[in-house]
Structure 1
Amino acid sequence: MSNEQQAIVVDVVSDVVCPWCFIGQRRLDKALAAVPEIDVQVRWRPFQLDPTIPPQGKDRKEYMLAKFGSDEKLREIHARIQPLGAAEGIDFDFDAIKVSPNTLDAHRVIRWAATFGGDVQNRLARRLFQLYFEEGKNVGDHAVLIEAAGEAGMDAPVVTALLATDKDRDAVANEVATASRMGITGVPCFLLESRYAVMGAQETPTLADAIRQVAAAKARGELEPAAD
């Protein structure tokens, strides 16, 4: 069976401020390494955990307290996530995060990264997760986004010019709305060949097995046509 026959597309629906999406990204990377015989194209799709956050963002501590009710509850949540992240090589530093950003502009830059081809979009998604969760940077800030874009291999002056416009704001918002219509209420969600969904930050073997099964089914010509 050739690599060409086994080539599949995995769409990752995620938000850059979702810690489970960061964990899911690391597990997906490991899953891909476990199936080198399969040509997998990864595409990052937008989701906003809270699109109502203003463009300038909100104070992180105030926002999280309003959302979860108490410092104690918040500490419990972080204490549950941190060891899971550590197991994937993630050094979550929740205390370093000062701003809860609106992620629309981050998703616009991720969208543009796809046009550069290669691994640029993957590199950008990884870098934005690192900046927010490990370095406490505001990923709603244009300067942070432009620097990350340049590091990922994008043309920083082009990104600077595009961010100053409304380009693709509606397109990103429409993609987020489409995800909701598809029944995606939480992220990450891994869509294989636009047909099969793996919900949540599943363990690496689960993701690898799903990729193998879908690739094999595609190679046998058994996949149902995708809905319009």
Structure 2
Amino acid sequence: MIDVPSITVDVVSDVVCPWCFIGQKRLDKAIEAVPEIAVEVHWRPYQLDPTIPPQGKDRKQYMLDKFGSEERIRQIHERIEPLGAAEGIAFDFGAIKVAPNTLDAHRVIRWAGTAGDGVQNRLVRRLFQLNFEEGANIGDHTVLVEAAREAGMDAAVVETLLPTDADRDTVMGEIGTAARMGITGVPCFLLQGKYAVMGAQDTATLADAIRQVAAAKARGELDPQPV
């Protein structure tokens, strides 16, 4: 039996971060470019703005408060849209009416990590699509439950857990851990828990990083060293 090289990639991201959506697409392509390596992806939480209330804020006003003018917002969107289009993303920023608090979305993503092979990846992709391409409010529990169902989760369990505090502290603790690690922007790709690739790097850069870390692991360079 041939031993297939394998590595883990932990993606620290927020589902309202357009660069994270671009990064997700590029990571998918990078993994396709290294079929000789088994890559296991885990999604880790980060909040661009944890101060947004649970019910969210009007996105237009939120963006104006943050960036100062409609012209500045338009420039930001015009910069991102063609980069997204190149990755197959149809950004529709005008359709987004609510700037959501993403804590509950991250709780569902965490639960998806134990729901079966590929479920977490499907859920994260769906949440990106809902927010950026369909303008859905991904802070809304109904939207989250339906996304969970589409990803292959037990929607009844998600519907029962969401109104509770289940895993709220755990997710907030993970977000705090990211901050203590020095992660101040997303996406951040942590390869084999040791090497960080910051930002929505191009596909070739991500694929090369995967190859290098897999090779280092195969040589035993990532094993704990004896004291």
**TM tier, shorter chain?**
over 0.9
Rounded Cα–Cα distance in structure 2 between residues aligned with 1:37 and 1:117: 23
Rounded Cα–Cα distance in structure 2 between residues aligned with 1:92 and 1:46: 22
- 1:22-171 alignment runs, 5 A limit: 22-171=21-170
User: What is the root-mean-square deviation of aligned Cα atoms in Å?
Assistant: 1.2
CA deviation map 1:58-85 (0-9, x unaligned): 0000000000000000000000000000
Rounded Cα–Cα distance in structure 1 between residues aligned with 2:221 and 2:179: 27
Equivalent residues of 2:188, 2:196 under 8 A apart: yes
CA deviation map 1:148-199 (0-9, x unaligned): 0000000000000010210000000000000000000000000001100000
Q: TM-score, normalised by structure 2?
A: 0.97
Unaligned runs of 5+ in 2: none
Match of 2:219 in 1: 220
Query: Runs in 1 of length 4+ with deviation above 6 angstroms?
Result: none
How many Å apart are 1:116 and its aligned residue?
A: 1.0
CA pair 59-161 structure 1, distance change in 2 beyond 3 A = same
Rounded Cα–Cα distance in structure 1 between residues aligned with 2:2 and 2:92: 43
Q: Which amino acid aligns with 2:155?
A: A
Q: TM-score, normalised by structure 1?
A: 0.97
Rounded Cα–Cα distance in structure 2 between residues aligned with 1:225 and 1:22: 34
CA deviation map 1:1-57 (0-9, x unaligned): 9444x1110000000000000000000000000001101100000000000000000
- 1:168-207 alignment runs, 5 A limit: 168-207=167-206
Alignment size in residue pairs? 225
CA deviation map 1:102-138 (0-9, x unaligned): 0000000000001112000000000000000000000
Equivalent residues of 1:3, 1:38 under 8 A apart: no
